[in-house]
Each structure stands twice: as C-alpha cells, then as structure tokens.
A = this chain, B = another copy of it.
Amino acid sequence: MKFSQLAQRLKATKSSLSCRPDHDPEIGGPADLRDAPPNTISYVEGPKFAKYIAETGAIALILPEAAALQQAAADRGLAWLSVPYPRLAFAQAIALFYQPFRPEPGIHPTAVVHPSVQVGREVSIGAYAVIQPDVVLGDQVCIHPQVVVYPGAQIGDRAILHAHCVIHERAVVGTDCVIHSGAVVGSEGFGFVPTREGWVKMEQSGITVLETGVEVGCNTTIDRPAVGETRIKAHTKIDNLVQIGHGCEVGQGCAFASQVGLAGGVTVGDRTILAGQVGIANQVTIGSGTTATARAGIIQDVASGQVVSGHPTVPHRQWLRQSALQQRLPEMYQTLKQLQQEIEALQNQLNS
C-alpha cells in the first residue's frame, strides 16, 4: 500500500502529512519504532520517544501534532502523518495489514453438539468442541477446537471462544465477547461453610454473566456465586490469569491487568483500571474511574476517581512518599539514636 493511500485510510488531512508527490513510499506493514524493518510504518506516541526517530528503520511514521517531531521525521527523509492520537491511528494501520485468523463458518464433523442446542447463523464450531444440552449459540459465534460449553449456557452473537476455554452451566456470554484460551467462565465459587465437623460445601446455584464486548484473558477464572450473579459489565477487558470471585460485580469499560485477584462479593465501578497483581478483599467496593497501581492490596472501600497504591492502599502520591521514606528507615533510625544521645548530653549538662 502506498503511504498516501494509507494516510487516506487513517483519515489524515493534507495539512497533517508529508506530501511531496515524489515521496510516496510503498508501506509493507506496521512495526515497532525501535525494531522496524525497512519499508514499514511505525508511530511515535509523544516527545518521550522522539529520540528513536533518528534511529528507526521505518520509512514512515505516525506522529502526534507536534512540529518538532514532524521536523525530525522530515530531516531524516521519512514520510509522516500526524494525528491527535497516534496510538489509535497505529492500531488502525495494523488492522489495514493484518487479518486475524478466523475459522470458516461451519460445524466440524467431530464437534459434539447436543440436538437441543440452538445454533445461530454462520456459526463456526471447531474440532472436538463439546456443546452440551440447551446451550444457545447466537449468530456468527466462533468456537475454536476443544472448547467445552456446559448445559444451558448462552453465547451471544459474534462471540469468540478460543481453544480450551470452558463455559460452565447457565453462564451468559454477551455479544462480541472474546474468551481466550484456557479461560474458565462460570465455574463454582469457593463456597465452604466452616463447621466443627469441617468444611461444608455451599452449592453454587448462581450464574456468571458477561455483558457485551467483554474480553477474558487466557487461563483467567470467573466463578459463579451461591445465589445471584457474578457480573462483568459491557466492554470490560480482563487480561490473563485473573481471578474474579463469586458474586463480584464489575462495572463497564474497566481494564484488569494480568494476575489481578478479586475475592468474593467485590463491587467495582465503571472505567476502573487495575494494574498487574492487584488484589481486592471480600465485599470491598471500589468507586468508578479509579486506578490501582501494580500490586495494590485493597482491603477497604475506595471512593470514585482515586489513584491508589500499596498494601493497604493509600493515595498514590502518599505511597510514593511512604516508599521513599521506607528506604530511608535505616537513616531515620540512626538519627533517632543520635538525637537520644544528644538529649542525654544536654540533660547531663543542665543537671550537672
């Protein structure tokens, strides 16, 4: 694809691109700025990455609206276009070159689909998938090989279930959801009642509901509760190896990074971002628009719009100060000892 065509597809206007008629290189594909083969297009998110313009092997760049970066690209003879959100435009550029693998519609002859299953139009079911009684599959659902769907689950239109994921009984997977390999949705919550005779199992009669556009990462687990629902609201994205306990309610448009863990009954507001390995204790409520930095241990409710860190969590700025001082504890301890001695000396001096 010619650079000019690509710019057009990304809706860059003439005033925001290098547009000499004699410099319209052929673009072979997208690449990482620091590691770009020739004939590729890359992107610069902001001034922080400006230094890589001088070194990149890319022949074209997507830039933010910053004259200095445009000049740097021009100086190297690179083609460039500039947009308000370079990362978004780069995502669009990737989509112009890369067609993700999707199996053709059709049911593989080895798939075991119970006669009671309702199958929508243009559904793809891969080899050895097992779809159990009373499951409902929407239109254009794509089920990769060896997926297991337990009885009574509902899979919405265009949902993609990758190899080896398991959807448990009565779970609801919304339209346009993506369930990655090895994820388990709607499994039994960890419900045991302590008694003098030991743990007594509380049957988990509830369900797990994923609303539209939810993504669930590889080997992530989302349990169902004893009664009621575990619910992940629309467009929330969950990375790999995350645990969502029974009865949690997660808002819309959240993003949970890998290895996050939510205990039972946690409520998380919309647009909350949890960085890697964050943990949230039983029954805690997090307001909307909140961010927890990596490894935060949230054991009490958090209001909306906060940025929290540490374990137990405090406002992020406070955590930065705390952490810095934690590293100075040996020095503080020394100072304390010294002050003790100086005071003693003063006391002796005064009382002598």
A195 to B327, CA, bound (A): 35
Q: Are the C-beta atoms of B259 and A281 separated by less than 8 Å?
A: no
Decide yes or no whether A321 CB sits under 8 A from chain B: yes
Q: Are the C-beta atoms of B299 and A297 separated by less than 8 Å?
A: no
Select which of B203, B237, B275, B349 is within 8 A of A95 by beta carbon: B203
Q: Are the C-beta atoms of A180 and B169 separated by less than 8 Å?
A: no
A332 to B95, CA, bound (A): 54
Decide yes or no whether A187 CB sits under 8 A from chain B: yes
- Chain B residues near A145 (CB, 8 Å)? 112, 130, 132, 148
A350 to B343, CA, bound (A): 12
Interface flags, A328-340, vs B, CB<8A=1, else 0: 1110110110011
Q: Which of A19-27, A60-68, A70-78, A159-167 contacts B (4 or more CB under 8 A)?
A: A159-167
* Max chain B Cβ within 10 angstroms of own Cβ: one of A108, A128, A163, A193: A163
Least CB distance, A28 to chain B, in whole angstroms? 12
A16 to B294, CA, bound (A): 50
Q: List 14 A-B contacts (CB under 8 A).
A: A30-B227, A32-B228, A85-B193, A90-B202, A91-B201, A94-B226, A146-B146, A187-B240, A192-B237, A219-B219, A221-B258, A240-B243, A259-B259, A332-B332
> Which residues of A pack against B, CB within 8 Å?
29-32, 35, 42, 85, 87-88, 90-91, 94-95, 97-98, 100-101, 108, 110, 112, 126-128, 130, 132, 144-146, 148, 150-151, 162-164, 166, 168-169, 180-182, 184, 187-188, 190-193, 195, 198-205, 217-219, 221, 223, 225-228, 235, 237, 239-241, 243, 245, 247, 253, 255, 257-259, 261, 263, 275-277, 279, 281, 294-295, 297, 299, 311-312, 314, 318, 321-323, 325-330, 332-333, 335-336, 339-340, 342-343, 346-347, 349-350
